[in-house]
Amino acid sequence: MVNFFYDWLGFFCALAVLVGVSRKSLSLALFLGAITLGFFTLSPFQLGTEILGTLKDPSIVLLAIAVGIIPLIGGVMKEGGEIDGLINNFRVGKKAFLALTPALMGMLPMPGGALLSAPMVEEAGIGTDEKTKAAINVWFRHLFILIYPLAPALIASTKIVELTVYDVIPWLVPEFLIASLTGYVFFLRRIRGNIDYASPFSLKNLLIPLCVVLAAPILDFALRFLLNFPIKETATVIAVLFSFALSIIFSSRKLDLKRIVLRARPWNFTFIILGMFIFLNIFIASDTASRVASLSLSGPVLCVIAGFLLGLTTGRVQLPASIILPVYLASYGSISPLVFSITYFSIFWGYIISPVHPCIVVSLEYFNTRMKDFYLRMLPPATIVFFLILITSFFLIP
């Protein structure tokens, strides 16, 4: 009875720390949340063993290194002008431009990324009201991340359940298509006209950044299946290093790598992965996952409703995944790619429309839009997507 009480007390205290501190630093929140949970549920020796064991796990360390390199690629491409070259030469219709510009920007995690796409949306969306442009910038910015093999949140979440991104991406495509179609109907369908480009088309300036962006996932996929690395994350490190090298080689401007590193803050992404798996291992070792699983929540309630609410309240993906996925494993033993895709999308969807999501905050500021007006435009399509996934989950999740 005493252990039961301490397990639950530790769990709720850890959640309070996670939610509170994550507004300032997600990596620190995960580490302090793990320490808090371990303080209530493990001996000091067990707590230290779990932390050291995580930091000595080569697969986790390599994953953390790879995820830390990814924002550097975006930083170099921005500094070198390749991002501008990609956008200026992506000659598509106005509707496609408004959707694809923020989506392409979103593929590489860069601080203030929503602010980079906002001017493009502003320019291309002349004649469209500001709250719609803010909604477009937020909605479409995150769609490609959902199925991008180098999305840090997706990489880390699949690692938790011992799947690969290539196992689950085919199952995420239907959600991606549903969200894309819904966004088109509500935000893009009535937009008319074409874009007037100030400079002539350059195939070179289009292909070079596309090659840099696509090189890493293609090489990662090839290495994983062609070479039998003892640690699969080795392929990911090699792939992102190769893409990073390409971004430097093909840069059209002189680069200040020190400034790029300071702006990209790659250590933040590395520490998030380490903190995530420290929390995860302590969460599992404490038997808290079994305690939560003993509540016997149905699959749809746990995976869709709880996942969505945690994404909504925290404005994060990795943090809710660190809680929901271990609980599901404790309840059901394993997770299929299909169930993972529904769970991950539900968390992701809560994150996209969370009022504490930084992309929403900066988009509202840029487009001078009130949060109330933004949500009046955003909530109808977001609600439709959520209930489609919830209804589907009752048929597909045990």
All structural domains of the chain with their residue ranges? 152-196+288-398
- Residue recorded with tokens 């943090």: 319
Residue 163 to residue 116: CA distance in whole angstroms: 33
- Nearest by Cα to 4 from 382, 292, 380, 349: 292
Query: What DSSP letter does each residue of 248-276 carry, written as one string?
Result: HHT-SS---HHHHHHHH-HHHHHHHHHHH
- Nearest by Cα to 69 from 194, 207, 279, 242: 242
Q: What is the pLDDT tens value at each position of the chain, 398 positions in all?
A: 556 667 778 778 888 887 788 777 778 888 898 898 888 888 888 889 999 999 999 998 998 898 888 888 878 887 888 877 777 777 777 888 888 888 877 776 655 557 667 767 887 777 788 899 999 999 998 888 899 888 888 988 999 999 999 999 999 999 999 999 999 999 998 887 776 776 788 888 888 888 887 888 888 888 887 888 888 889 889 988 998 999 899 888 888 888 888 887 888 888 888 888 888 888 878 877 667 766 777 889 999 998 998 888 777 888 889 889 988 988 888 899 999 999 999 999 999 988 767 778 778 878 888 888 888 999 999 999 999 999 999 998 87
Residue 6 to residue 39: CA distance in whole angstroms: 10
Range 192-195, long-range pairs (CB < 8 A, 24+ positions): 192/94, 193/94, 193/127, 194/93, 194/94, 195/94, 195/97, 195/123, 195/124
